[in-house]
């Protein structure tokens, strides 16, 4: 399970280092971090936690992008259009723990 504390640490590490980058670079680095996190935590019983992480990251990116200027840059509809151009990697289960038998490995 991805605890609330682990989520907060991950989100802080992403935001601290990337929020001032140009948009293209920000989204590339964000997606790289998220892919690594999903690869580690995306197992069959953890889908709820991974989905909530995705939702929190979406809200955080929306917040960062709106803080880049004095006026509000995005409403949610414009943000969804932005996400079509620069999508955030969506989570999917990488390992089904129920299909692994005794002694089986998920490494191919």
Is position 92 within any domain? no
**29 CB-side CA count, 13 A:** 17
Instruction: For residue 37, give both structure tokens.
Output: 């996190």
The residue among 95, 105, 93, 96 whose CA lies nearest residue 49 is 93
Is position 64 within any domain? yes
Domain membership of residue 66 as a residue range:
4-85
pLDDT in tens, 24-72: 998 998 899 889 888 888 887 888 888 888 998 898 888 888 887 777 7
Chain mean pLDDT for the chain: 82
Q: How confident is the model over 6-19, as a mean pLDDT?
A: 73
Confidence of residue 85 (pLDDT cuts 50, 70, 90): very high
* DSSP secondary structure, 17-44, as one string: HHTTS-HHHHHHHHHHHHHHHHHHH-BG
Is position 30 within any domain? yes
Is position 35 within any domain? yes
Provide the domain count of the chain.
1
């Amino acid at each position: 399970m991805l605890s609330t504390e682990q989520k907060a640490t991950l989100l802080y590490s992403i935001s601290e280092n990337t929020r001032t980058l140009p948009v293209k670079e920000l989204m590339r680095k964000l997606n790289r971090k998220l892919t690594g996190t999903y690869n580690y935590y995306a197992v069959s019983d953890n889908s709820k936690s991974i989905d909530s992480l995705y939702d929190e990251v979406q809200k955080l990116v929306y917040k960062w992008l709106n803080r880049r200027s004095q006026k509000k840059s995005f409403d949610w509809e414009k943000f969804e259009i932005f996400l079509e151009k620069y999508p955030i990697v969506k989570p999917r289960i990488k390992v089904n723990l129920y299909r692994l038998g005794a002694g089986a490995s998920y490494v191919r």
